[in-house]
Amino acid sequence: MALAVVIGCPVAWWMMSWWLRDYVYRMTMGAGIFIGAAVLVMVIALLTVGWQALKAGTTNPAGVLRAE
């Protein structure tokens, strides 16, 4: 996931700079936007994977096999 952030941040910065260059009122994009987005994505991914791992770890396999 960190590799995707490392690859995606420069691409996103370049695309946003290209898109925003035609506006009359220009703004600069700082690194904080990309760092915040990367942290948010990683937290959401870790919570999702952790929740699924917790559910899988606490499920009784015999009950699942019996229900099938």
CA-based nearest residue to 34, from 56, 4, 62, 63: 4
Instruction: Give the residue numbers spanning the domain of 38.
Output: 30-59
For residue 38, being part of any structural domain is answered with yes
Half-sphere exposure of 68 (CA within 13 A, CB side): 4
Each residue's pLDDT, cut to its tens digit, for the chain (68 residues) gives 788 888 988 999 999 889 888 888 877 888 888 899 889 999 999 999 999 999 988 988 887 788 77
Total number of domains constituting the chain: 1
For residue 14, being part of any structural domain is answered with no
For residue 11, being part of any structural domain is answered with no
Q: What is the pLDDT of residue 23?
A: 87
For residue 4, being part of any structural domain is answered with no
Helices 31-58 and 2-20 pack at an angle, to 10 degrees, of: 140
